[in-house]
A and B are shown apart, each in its own frame.
Chain A
Amino acid sequence: MMKKYLLLFCSVLMVSTLVSCDTSNFGNISQHIGTAMTVADATSKAARPISEEEEYYVGRAVAAKILGSYQLSTDAVLTRYVNLVGKTVALNSDKPFTHGGYHFAILETNEINAFAAPGGTIFITHGMIRTTASEDELAAVIAHEVAHIAKRDGISAIKSARWTQAVTLIGTTAAKNYTSGEVSQLVGLFEGSIDDIFKTLVVNGYSRSQEYAADEGALQTLAKCGYDPRALPSFLKRLEQRGRSSGGGIMQTHPGTADRIENISGKMPSTAQIHPRATEARMARFSGAVR
């Protein structure tokens, strides 16, 4: 009997030792989790990164500002369709979840453009949707915007001096709720952050490298979804033709489409052939929604 218990004890000890040393499976936990800074660590540094929750609140205000400049579409069929394509794309992206989730809305304008507010709200203009020729191309546009959110490009537009000032103020306050003076200062910094992002989204655009990275991320996401990644260059070619005549919008805030096409050529992920029935089904619902 004693021998059996000894054997059991040794087995348990051996397995627990083996498991704790195994890096093939469980080691990833520390790798993933370990990279996330704890709040305590973060606040002790001069400029901690903005948190997911803070990004959400900044993103809501950016979205409100965009909706002050553009009219929200009331097309129920198209809104539902864009949301379904959008959710499919977001779930296959590098960041399927954000604090407040992904949301998709259409702006009632002929301008060809799309905006990703930090935190997950994506706006696409009617003009942009009408420039796409298939569901796969619409998915390509959305995948590009989702990549900007996943890479936190919007948030990176906040001037570092402004954020450092905010962190300093936040770090010196002991209570969770601020005094009116502190709130007033923070609101000023909040407003400045919103302006930084809005200016980047609507006027200046992201850097060339951020746009290229978003295109590359979109290719991978499209392939994961089962969409044809070649829809991105095919859309960009059409955009170039339309953009030449329209100017403004996306042509003002994005690098030249010829350069974007060149950047992704040779980076096309391999995908399985799409069944003709799937192509037909997608085309039918695209035509039904995009009228």
Chain B
Amino acid sequence: MMKRTLLLSLVLTFIASAVLAETVTVITKENAIREYAKFFAPVKANVRYGDRLEAFATEGDWYKVKYGPSIGYIHRSAVEKRTVASPASYSRKGSSVSESEAALAGKGFNPQVEASYKKQHPEMKFYLVDSVERYPVPDRDVVQFIVAGGLRQP
């Protein structure tokens, strides 16, 4: 009886996932699939710009997603239903983007345009912008800061 119930739940989960799954694409440079729908929940997998995930449920502002063998949560502001091009610096295996999709998605104000702009304006202090972007703020420091200040963990 126990076996049958287990089998039934497995089949139901599979069917529900298949019926509801939608592909979403990571639009942030980097992000993480979390064990539960909280910003500081343990990381189950790291994802990058252009990675495709199967979303099959929502929990508040979070999608429950599948990425490779990992199932977990990602915040809705980190994904979109579309295909993005994977620039060489971000690209990696498993992110299949067709030529036509890439042609559409990688265009616009992109690294190539920024590079040309920099050449024309060497006085612009992009190296300072890079240093601001590289400033490290580890998750554990933010958590400690929140707890010590009696703030709420998002």
> Taking beta carbons and an 8 Å cutoff, which residues of A are in contact with B?
4, 8, 11-12, 15-16, 19-20, 25-26, 28-30, 32-34, 36-40, 43, 50-54, 57-58, 60-61, 63-65, 67-68, 72, 79, 83-85, 87-88, 91-92, 95-101, 103, 105, 121, 135, 166, 170, 173-178, 183-184, 186-187, 190-191, 193, 224-227, 274-275, 277-279, 281-282, 285
Q: Check A96/B109 contact, CB under 8 A, given A19-B19, A225-B152.
A: no
8 Å CB contact of A39 from B8, B56, B105, B129: B105
- The answer to whether A278 and B116 touch across the interface, beta carbons within 8 angstroms, is no
Within 8 A of A (CB), among B98-154: 101-114, 116-117, 120-121, 123-126, 128-129, 131-133, 135, 137, 141-142, 145-146, 148-152, 154
How far, in angstroms, from A198 to B151 measured CA to CA in the complex?
Answer: 34
Chain A residue numbers with a CB within 8 Å of B96 are none
B44 within 8 A of A: no
Contacts beyond the supplied A39-B84, A281-B149: 4 A-B pairs with Cβ under 8 Å: A12-B15, A88-B142, A97-B31, A166-B109
- The answer to whether B124 and A26 touch across the interface, beta carbons within 8 angstroms, is no
- The answer to whether A20 and B149 touch across the interface, beta carbons within 8 angstroms, is no
How far, in angstroms, from A12 to B16 measured CA to CA in the complex?
Answer: 9
- The answer to whether B55 and A121 touch across the interface, beta carbons within 8 angstroms, is no
B11 within 8 A of A: yes
Q: Check A29/B63 contact, CB under 8 A, given A8-B8, A84-B142.
A: yes
- The answer to whether B151 and A33 touch across the interface, beta carbons within 8 angstroms, is no
Chain B residue numbers with a CB within 8 Å of A29 are 20, 22, 55-58, 63
How far, in angstroms, from A101 to B7 measured CA to CA in the complex?
Answer: 43
B80 within 8 A of A: yes
Min CB distance A103 to B, Å, is 5
> Taking beta carbons and an 8 Å cutoff, which residues of B are in contact with A?
4, 8, 11-12, 15-16, 19-20, 22, 24, 27-29, 31, 39, 49, 55-58, 63, 75-85, 101-114, 116-117, 120-121, 123-126, 128-129, 131-133, 135, 137, 141-142, 145-146, 148-152, 154
A-B residue pair count with CB separations less than 8 angstroms = 219
Q: Check A63/B152 contact, CB under 8 A, given A20-B20, A39-B104.
A: no
Min CB distance B131 to A, Å, is 8
In the complex, 28 of the A-B residue pairs with CB atoms within 8 angstroms, ordered by the A residue number, are A4-B4, A15-B16, A26-B20, A34-B81, A38-B81, A39-B101, A53-B27, A53-B84, A57-B113, A58-B109, A64-B128, A67-B125, A67-B128, A84-B145, A87-B137, A92-B154, A98-B77, A100-B133, A173-B107, A186-B116, A187-B117, A191-B117, A224-B154, A225-B151, A277-B150, A278-B151, A281-B150, A282-B149
